Structure formats: structure tokens, C-alpha cells
Amino acid sequence: MFNSNFIPINDVLLRKEVAETPFACDLDKCKGACCTLESDFGAPLKEDEIKEMANALPFVKDIISEHHWEEIEENGFYEEKDGELLTRSINHKACVFVYFENEIAKCSLEKVFFEGKTTFQKPISCHLFPIRVSEFGGDILRFEKFSECGPALEKGKEENVTAFKFCQNSLERKYSKQWYKKAREITGK
């Protein structure tokens, strides 16, 4: 039914490129480009994430720029396009939740999570990056290629880390530790 590019793990199909592509973020070189990629669409959101993100707003208000906060107050932090929920972005680029630290774009939602102020880390689509989830009668996990991630490919190669290993925490968050363990056994990664 499926070709050898897919690895079935329970009801999820993992493209081999996820398990084989070297990847380890190098923020000093990419400057958090994934949070500021130019696009008409922000990060995909799940409906149940909206409430969690709304609850985090009071905590991120003093972290993000005044311009970003004004955008949230005026237009909200998400939008719906073509039936899909997406984070709102500024000028089709920076996510409204972005703040900068030493010229590196970072996620204010994640910052307040690690400070213990919320229980929501960030949208799962952001946490999984560079892995993207497509739905086709079940989840299909694929590797999303961006030229801005060139340094991450180099660092992954140097450190012998694949996108699959780099995203262990987010994959466990989405599917469970048992799923990830089974995926490791099947892929040998």
C-alpha cells in the first residue's frame, strides 16, 4: 500500500526523511528564523490550543513588543484561513508571540512556560518544527525543508542528531513516550 519512504508506527506514518535527516537547531546562526519566516500563513493551531494561548496572554504582554501586543489587542492572536486556525503574524513574517533576545527570535509562550507561569509550552506545530504533520486518514510526519535551517542541518551532521531525535520531546508530547520508544525500535534511531 505504501512505498518504502514511509514507516508505519501505530496509526502514524513516519517519512524516512524525518528519521534520517541530520538536524539540530543552531540559534546563534539562524537567529530563530522559524518564528519569523515570511509567509501568508502563521503556525497551524489546534482548536484546543486557543484557550491555552489566551490564558497565557497576561504573562506574555510584558515580553513581546508593544507593536505585537497592539496587534493582538486589535486583531487577536490567531486567524482562520481556508478553514485552518493559524497564529497571526506581523507583516506576513514574525509571529505575534515573538520576542527578541540578543537578536534571536524566541517564543514568549515558551518563555513563560519555562518560568512556570503557564502549563502550555507552545503550539505543537511549533514544537515539532521542522517536522510537519499532514493528515491523510491518519497523521503523516514529514520533514519541512527551509533554506534558513541550513545551519541546523550542518549542526545535526556534526552532532549526529536527526530531526527525529531532535524532536523527541515534542513527538512524545504529541504521541506519547511509548509511541516514541516504539518508533525508535522500528527505525533503529
Please tell me the distance from the alpha carbon of residue 174 to that of residue 172, in angstroms, as a whole number.
5
pLDDT for the residue 3: 57
Q: What confidence tens digit (pLDDT) does each residue in 60-73 have?
A: 999 999 999 999 99
> Which residue shows C-alpha cell 505504501?
2
**pTM exceeding the 0.85 threshold for the entire prediction:** yes
CA 185 to chain centre: 24
In the predicted model, what is the mean pLDDT of residues 24-31? 95
